Structure 1
Amino acid sequence: MRKQQLLLLLTIGLWSGFTKIQATYAQFGPPGGGPGGPGGFGRQQDGRRQKEEFTGVADDAPKGNGKISGLLVDSLSGKPVEFATVALISTKTNKPVDGTTSDAKGNFTLSKLAPGDFRLQYSFIGYKNSDSKPFTIVKGTDLKMGSVKLAPDVRTLGEVVVTGQAALIEEKVDRLVFNADKDIAVKGGDASDILKRVPMLSVDLDGNVSLRGSQNIRVLINNKPSTIVAASVADALKQLPADMIKTVEVITSPSAKYDAEGAAGIINIITKKNTLHGLTLNVDAGVGLRASNLGLNGSYRQGKLGITLGGFGRMMYNRASSTLDQTTRSGTQPLRTLQDNSAFDKPIFGQYNLGFDYDLAKNQSLSANVRFGTRNFIQEQNQLTSTYSGQSLISQMNRDVDRKDLSNSVDMNLDYIRTFKPQQEWSISTQYSRTNLTNNFFADVLTSTGALSARQQNLNNNVNQEMTIQSDYQTPIKKNQLLEFGGKAIMRKVDSDYRYLIGGGSGELSIDPNNPTGALSYNQNIGAGYISYTYVTPSKYTFKIGTRYEHTSITANQSTEVVKNKPLNIPSYGNLVPSINVSKSLKAGTTLKAAYNRRIQRPGLQQLNPNVNAANPQMIMQGNPNLSPELTDNAELSLSSTIKKTYLNVSVFGRLTNNAITQVRIPVDTSLYDFPAGAILTTFQNIGVQRTMGANVFFNTNLTSKWSLNGGFDGYYVYMQGATPGLDGKSMTISNTGISIGGRLMSQLQLDKGWSAQVFSFFRGPMPQLQGTQGGFYMYSLGIRKDLANKRGSVGLAAENFIGNGVVMRTQLDSPILSQVSVNRLYNQNVKLTFTYRIGKMSFDAPRRKARSVNNDDVKAGEGGNDGGQPQQQQQSAPTGGGRPR
């Protein structure tokens, strides 16, 4: 855009109410008011005075009685173009002397015009600038411009997608945004591959995500929850293709509008959405040594209706191995266990969705969406376990194990929003989610000669379902304040039934009387209400304060072979969770922010499930249905600035968690369960206190117009204190402290003729746990891509961890009753070829206001371009509704 055109858009566009330019909000606040009120950008009561304030066009400029009117329409659809900028430019000085915007029907009028020679210039984002022919105004002129057609700027949009060098990392009012669609090396991967690259996040070899060293987070997809995410974040991320992710938002200090869940914060994954109209089909495919994928996504949009239909499937094939050296000291003689474990994974993931949105009226919108997800994770293991008492071998066991972790999920949303005027709106949102989970294993116990000696099978079926309804309202108060409030109800039900079967050498199976069989029924109802207030001072301080109250009631029953429907005494509880966010815009684009909030972490399905999973009988897993929620107080301070071509952000943070939920490992009581001596049970407990302090530093710089470099460093110190069994069987208090550091570095290069390249590296140091330290690991990748003709598709080649023999992670655990060293090896060297192609034709359509959607960010998962309408820059933002309700 030429310099003069850009100045016109900034000056007259600000006056007219172009709400996307958020710098206006910082100084003048959101639109609002009515007759006699503070006024808004689009319907001002004192237009001439405010026009001078926003455009610099003096109110005492020469006036006359000339008049110009017309209608702005889209050249393709014929629809009116609302709120476009119309500038009256003097042909002598080539400068604007007056201006206006089109109304909601595309009409515009300029009146009280002085005589002279002029031309009109029409501009709006997404359209090519258009100039009228010169004309002359004399006394009494009433000029009718008729229908003026604005042509979509399709060429410019294509250039921005391919060659634009917008920051890979952006900071918005309450979040950090990682623009994942710029990352070429992850094509053919999944969401976990993207999250490894996001500042402040780390992803372990199993796909579990940590934010600033804590896995107590909430993951949303397009501002919505999913029951499969509640069951397992790692599995949910594997179902989401990296090619469909637009941005990842890291929200470390959520406002009161968000559910109180997520002690460390919220991760919101925004997928690519279609803002065009027409019919199109996208094909994404990839073939690699470790994984292959195929995706088909179609969309249709015309008039008031938009429809999307898509499917994605990914098949993986990978080897892994591990060794275990473990000593338990719960008896008279320490027992040492050595184990070699090799595994072959064959997971298949799929995701399918159907959605539509419809404009009921110009200020009302209805949307609905159905999403299906499926996971078929099959693993073949071979375990060779030897147990020693002193130097004597007392047992040896060889097992072939087939694990099946299967799930299918459905999420259905129906959402309605009504806008009364800019920034004043009311919405109602509903959601139903259901996930069926199957976690089974089948084991053959073999003799030294390979003959079958025994069989064991564990069957565990789970159902997790939620029903949610919420309503939100927001309205501006004067020109620099915003009020938000709303309510929400969540009805959640978890069911799990489990049983063990055993058999001898004949292979026939029957119920095992020595191992647990039973069921859990867990009902949780949550009622919540919130209020949030935002105020922007003339000196560019922004204060956002709020509070949220949540009441949780739980009824649960556990059944065993002996006792049926035994009530679990879990009391109801209420929590008041305040939040305070303060920011200050300093000079030279520098922003200082401070925040405090309190968060709740409720236990998730994996932590509650009482099934004893002994797929590896030396490392048994079991949930704890008696867990209580944990409470965390968070505080952070950050400074961000742009220095020449470099964006820099530095932040420090602190967390204090009471009643912290964490993994605890204890020797199995063999008098209760028929498991081998020396076996370790991993379960979950509310351990007590956890204190964390840390810092994050990251940067993004453009070395040239086509070469960018970004990276970061993070570290934290943690202190943990909790109870664990001692040598005498009684509970004793233990503590642990430690420091963990990590970092990442990425460089991207745009080459000629549609070629581009990228290199990425990541490392995470050892992470302290209550009973020891989880091992660190590293990853790296290199990728190239070639765009096809007319940019309708691309072909890419990427390699990951291609030097050496995969990734090795060493974990060491210590407590008074056990010590354990485990080494995991993931043979994840990978080379993949990716291909994308787009069929069909699209044309630009003006942005549509979508109905809001439910998101439940209140459940803790198992350990192991902002769609939300958020402001663009903290230093320039005044009150905003924050987009979708939380």
Structure 2
Amino acid sequence: MKLLYFFYSILFTLFLYNTTYAQTSTCKISGIVLDDAKKTLDGATVVLLIAKDSNVVSTQLAKADGSFTFQNLKDNTYIIKATYIGYKNYLSSPVTIGQQKTISLPAFTLSATGKTLNEVAVTGKKSYVQQKIDRTVVKVGALISNTGANALEVLSKTPGVQIDADGNITFKGKSGVMVMIDDKPTYLSAANLATYLRSLPSSALDQIELMDNPPAKYDAAGNAGVINIKTKKNTTRGFNAVATASWGRGVYGRTDESINLNYRIDKVNFFANLAYNNQKTYRRLEIDRIFFDDNGNQTSSLKDISYFRPSSNNTNIKAGMDYFLSPKTTWGVVFTGTLSHDHDSSPVNSLLYGQGGGLDSTIQTLNTSTNKFTSKGVNLNFTHKFDSTGRAFTFDLDYIRDVSGSNQTFVNNTFLPDGTLTNSQTITDDLPSIINIYSAKADYTHPLKGKAKFEAGVKSSYVNTDNAANYFNVIDNVSTVDYNNTNRFIYKENINAGYVNFNKAFGRFSIQTGLRMENTNGNGHQLGNAQRPDSSFVKHYTNLFPTAYLSYNIDTAGHNVLVASYGRRIGRPSYGNLNPFTFFVDKFTYFSGNPFLKPQFTDDYKLAYSFKSLFTIALAYNRTTDVHNETIHKDGNVFISTTGNIGVQKTLDFSISSNLQPTKWWTINLYAEVYNNKYQGAFYSGYLNQSKTTFSANGNNQFTISKTWSAEISGFYNTSGAYGQFVSIPTGMLNAAVQKKVLNNKGTIKLSVRDVLKSFSPSGTITNIAGATATYHNFLDTQVGTLAFTYSFGKLTNTPAKRNTGGAESEQGRAH
């Protein structure tokens, strides 16, 4: 907390400085940095020097469009120096501020150089991974092996991100990450989020932003940080489109088709992203359980072998219009839609053994399920820029409606070792769910003197969820209600939030700090039935979430940079996890909700050092209280899985990322981290005290064979890790791909193979189960070959970027 107080004392001093600053000069020098091909050099270092003695006045990085501006300058003669990795330095002619107060310089053109740095040549080519003060940006299209993949598979290859066999996402060793699509969080239940991400093709994705400590502008939800998946946005005048089609083969075949359309005429811009995929996958899950009495003697054991072969059809649509009322004012509307159908017939063979190890009985379960998920959303947005300094106001209104349904049939047949049928049980269920999300937010940005900026905003959201679980016992084709498991759960939640954010650059220092307040009001009602009474709960809490970043350029050129940061975040229970309904997997495995689940809170501390764009090293520590994690306990010989608060998690993380180019035709991107997870807290009938140190590495090699041919080899490896009760074994994956440009570079043919060695097999041990031990082993359909074709057509004249995101940020998806 001392570090936090230090940051806020600096912020207070800076506010006093700005209110007493008497400098009235409006002199400024602006320009743009380009390369030999006249393309902008985003992130080029621009240094303002006094011509007389070369003393540094100010240093800044060029913006995404290559532009830079030095403001509030005194009368003097200056020289401007521009540098970029892999390019020769540029030094301007003397520029004099005197009678002329505003000077716009001709474009700076930097020439590429072939010089080496420590035997490694670095060019100006943008990296697959880029580091910024508050986030890491990953370019999806930079990896050929991403072709034909879905969003969940793309995430599995992203630095610091791990995906388990059920689609659960962890980031830097922590669960509870907030996943966003175009700045709109969609933290569904793990199952629904995985379904949605599998329906989103990589061809629709542009980049992934990884934020372990997001700024105050973002919702505080997501204790592990934010993963923001940005979809492609076409911003060109006239009509243009990009179409992609792919076919892949693993155990079964799969197809992906998508098209990104844009049409701009006069003051109106129309856009649409359409995607469809059809896939069938395979998974075999083996779970071994051993049961003990109070004296530790083995009483029985159980082996489950489950087969999953889900087939799904998924359609995603995003369409909208921008109306440019004036050069400063824009209105926009965006419609989104998702339709997902899947069917699965999952047989389970359960072998129950007695105390002496002999087979007692066999249970054969056939689980047949049909699932449907639809999501419809509309966003109305407004942007007004008051002047050229960046002062702006925006607001968003959102409405989202998610509807899902699941129908399942469980047939359990029990046999003696000789094959005699001793019992037959049939259970059916109907699990409908409806979620309505309403959201409104407004943001204001105001530049201040002395390279400072102030931001503020407010947001209010309301969510109404209605989940039902209808279970029936079927005997002689007659269905009767199972009142022990049937229920209906209604949950309503209102969150009101406001934030302020301030950033300023002074000399070699830059500071960004903010404070967000969120007020949460929840009301849950579980309706009773003929055998069970109603129950309800009400929750009200208000919390403050500070964030702070302090950056220091060690040298005048800004090549060596230190960044320290702090942030506090919250992880609210998903709406579905609060619902105490029961979901059956087989006769010995259930999932259940938890209405007593409390929010979790995380404090993050981080110190990072970057050298140019070559490498970044970081040391991070975070502490989470009331940690959400999947927990396993048993009732007899039935394992029940639920999300619970399991005490305190402490994570210490050391990471390093590097971007190198040993030769002109070979580019290397590497990321590695070592983190220790430690869990401590009361846990069912005992105490959980689990700790594990994990090494994780992720890398890719890109090869330029010729002007039209390129190739890639990528992969990742993770050692054993601890995640609550679960301890995983090492696993990894190797991918390879080749690409050929055709049709005057408007078309691209790509061939990729994912999991070449078929080595990705998430498995491990479940610990801290009273009276039992358990291990699990997954065999997945991850070895997939994909052939894809992409074609681009239309005009290529740039226009201002459109708004196609909204404000229903941390609500969508918690509804399940």
Mark the CA change 1:830 to 1:304 in structure 2 (over 3 Å): closer, same or farther. same
String of CA shifts for 1:389-413, please: whole Å, max 9, x gaps. Answer: 4136444211111133321112221
Distance, in Å, in 2 between the alignment partners of 1:516 and 1:567 is 15
Distance, in Å, in 1 between the alignment partners of 2:694 and 2:785 is 31
The equivalent position to 1:469 in structure 2, one of 437, 440, 449, is 440
Corresponding residue number in structure 2 for 1:826: 780
Corresponding residue number in structure 1 for 2:348: 383
* AA of the residue aligned to 1:315: N
**More displaced stretch, 677-686 vs 340-349:** 340-349
Distance, in Å, in 2 between the alignment partners of 1:435 and 1:51 is 62
Corresponding residue number in structure 2 for 1:557: 525
1:397 aligns with 2:363: yes
Corresponding residue number in structure 2 for 1:755: 709
Counting only pairs closer than 5 Å after superposition, residues 544-623 of structure 1 correspond to structure 2 as 544-562=512-530, 566-587=534-555, 589-623=559-593
The runs of 5 or more residues in structure 2 that have no matched partner are: 1-29, 35-40, 49-56, 82-90, 110-122
* AA of the residue aligned to 1:411: G
The DSSP-based 3-state class of the residue aligned with 1:312 is strand
1:269 aligns with 2:240: no
1:718 aligns with 2:693: no
The equivalent position to 1:652 in structure 2, one of 613, 619, 625, is 619
Distance, in Å, in 1 between the alignment partners of 2:772 and 2:235 is 58
Distance, in Å, in 2 between the alignment partners of 1:258 and 1:345 is 35
The DSSP-based 3-state class of the residue aligned with 2:218 is coil
String of CA shifts for 1:740-781, please: whole Å, max 9, x gaps. Answer: 221112100112141110011112223213334134421111
Structure with the higher strand share, 1 or 2:
2
The DSSP-based 3-state class of the residue aligned with 1:192 is helix
Distance, in Å, in 2 between the alignment partners of 1:124 and 1:367 is 36
The DSSP-based 3-state class of the residue aligned with 1:185 is helix
Corresponding residue number in structure 1 for 2:8: none
Mark the CA change 1:602 to 1:578 in structure 2 (over 3 Å): closer, same or farther. same
The equivalent position to 2:127 in structure 1, one of 150, 160, 167, is 167
String of CA shifts for 1:679-733, please: whole Å, max 9, x gaps. Answer: 10011222221111111111111122231011121121122123333xxxxx332
* AA of the residue aligned to 2:167: G
Corresponding residue number in structure 1 for 2:504: 535
Corresponding residue number in structure 2 for 1:327: 290
The equivalent position to 2:412 in structure 1, one of 445, 454, 473, is 445
String of CA shifts for 1:253-292, please: whole Å, max 9, x gaps. Answer: 1122211111121111112211211112332111111321
Distance, in Å, in 1 between the alignment partners of 2:271 and 2:733 is 35
1:357 aligns with 2:322: yes
Corresponding residue number in structure 2 for 1:525: 494
Mark the CA change 1:260 to 1:111 in structure 2 (over 3 Å): closer, same or farther. closer
Distance, in Å, in 1 between the alignment partners of 2:457 and 2:354 is 63
| Aligned-pair CA distance for 1:850 | 4.1
Mark the CA change 1:222 to 1:330 in structure 2 (over 3 Å): closer, same or farther. farther
Mark the CA change 1:808 to 1:624 in structure 2 (over 3 Å): closer, same or farther. closer
String of CA shifts for 1:797-842, please: whole Å, max 9, x gaps. Answer: 1112233586353334343332111111113321111111224x21
Corresponding residue number in structure 1 for 2:272: 309
Distance, in Å, in 2 between the alignment partners of 1:45 and 1:533 is 19
Mark the CA change 1:99 to 1:799 in structure 2 (over 3 Å): closer, same or farther. farther
The DSSP-based 3-state class of the residue aligned with 2:194 is helix
The runs of 5 or more residues in structure 1 that have no matched partner are: 1-6, 12-17, 32-39, 57-93, 101-109, 114-119, 126-162, 669-676, 726-730, 864-886
| Aligned-pair CA distance for 1:349 | 2.1
Distance, in Å, in 2 between the alignment partners of 1:301 and 1:460 is 44
The equivalent position to 1:638 in structure 2, one of 602, 608, 630, is 608
The DSSP-based 3-state class of the residue aligned with 2:373 is strand
1:184 aligns with 2:144: yes
| Aligned-pair CA distance for 1:244 | 1.9
* AA of the residue aligned to 2:676: Y
1:705 aligns with 2:642: no
| Aligned-pair CA distance for 1:235 | 2.2
- C-alpha contact (below 8 Å) 1:707/1:748 kept by paired residues: yes
Mark the CA change 1:425 to 1:555 in structure 2 (over 3 Å): closer, same or farther. same
String of CA shifts for 1:149-184, please: whole Å, max 9, x gaps. Answer: xxxxxxxxxxxxxx9821111111211111112111
Mark the CA change 1:95 to 1:228 in structure 2 (over 3 Å): closer, same or farther. closer
* AA of the residue aligned to 1:650: I
Distance, in Å, in 1 between the alignment partners of 2:570 and 2:105 is 54
Corresponding residue number in structure 1 for 2:429: 458
Counting only pairs closer than 5 Å after superposition, residues 78-117 of structure 1 correspond to structure 2 as none
Mark the CA change 1:781 to 1:112 in structure 2 (over 3 Å): closer, same or farther. closer
**Which structure is larger by alpha-carbon Rg, 1 or 2?**
1
* AA of the residue aligned to 2:615: L
- C-alpha contact (below 8 Å) 1:604/1:859 kept by paired residues: no
Distance, in Å, in 1 between the alignment partners of 2:523 and 2:653 is 38
Corresponding residue number in structure 2 for 1:689: 648
TM-score (norm. length: structure 2): 0.83
Counting only pairs closer than 5 Å after superposition, residues 132-171 of structure 1 correspond to structure 2 as 165-171=125-131
TM-score (norm. length: structure 1): 0.77
| Aligned-pair CA distance for 1:543 | 1.6
**More displaced stretch, 236-245 vs 556-565:** 556-565
The DSSP-based 3-state class of the residue aligned with 2:184 is coil
| Aligned-pair CA distance for 1:234 | 1.9
**More displaced stretch, 243-252 vs 447-456:** 447-456
- C-alpha contact (below 8 Å) 2:235/2:262 kept by paired residues: no
| Aligned-pair CA distance for 1:609 | 3.0
Corresponding residue number in structure 1 for 2:764: 810
Distance, in Å, in 1 between the alignment partners of 2:467 and 2:576 is 11
Distance, in Å, in 2 between the alignment partners of 1:286 and 1:707 is 27
1:342 aligns with 2:307: yes
Distance, in Å, in 1 between the alignment partners of 2:124 and 2:334 is 32
| Aligned-pair CA distance for 1:467 | 0.8
Mark the CA change 1:307 to 1:24 in structure 2 (over 3 Å): closer, same or farther. farther
**More displaced stretch, 683-692 vs 771-780:** 771-780
Corresponding residue number in structure 1 for 2:797: 844
Provide the identity percentage. 22
1:27 aligns with 2:58: yes
Distance, in Å, in 1 between the alignment partners of 2:174 and 2:599 is 15
- C-alpha contact (below 8 Å) 1:772/1:813 kept by paired residues: yes
1:254 aligns with 2:202: no
* AA of the residue aligned to 2:327: K
Distance, in Å, in 2 between the alignment partners of 1:507 and 1:112 is 86
- C-alpha contact (below 8 Å) 2:457/2:500 kept by paired residues: yes
* AA of the residue aligned to 2:460: A
String of CA shifts for 1:75-104, please: whole Å, max 9, x gaps. Answer: xxxxxxxxxxxxxxxxxxx9978899xxxx
* AA of the residue aligned to 2:260: N
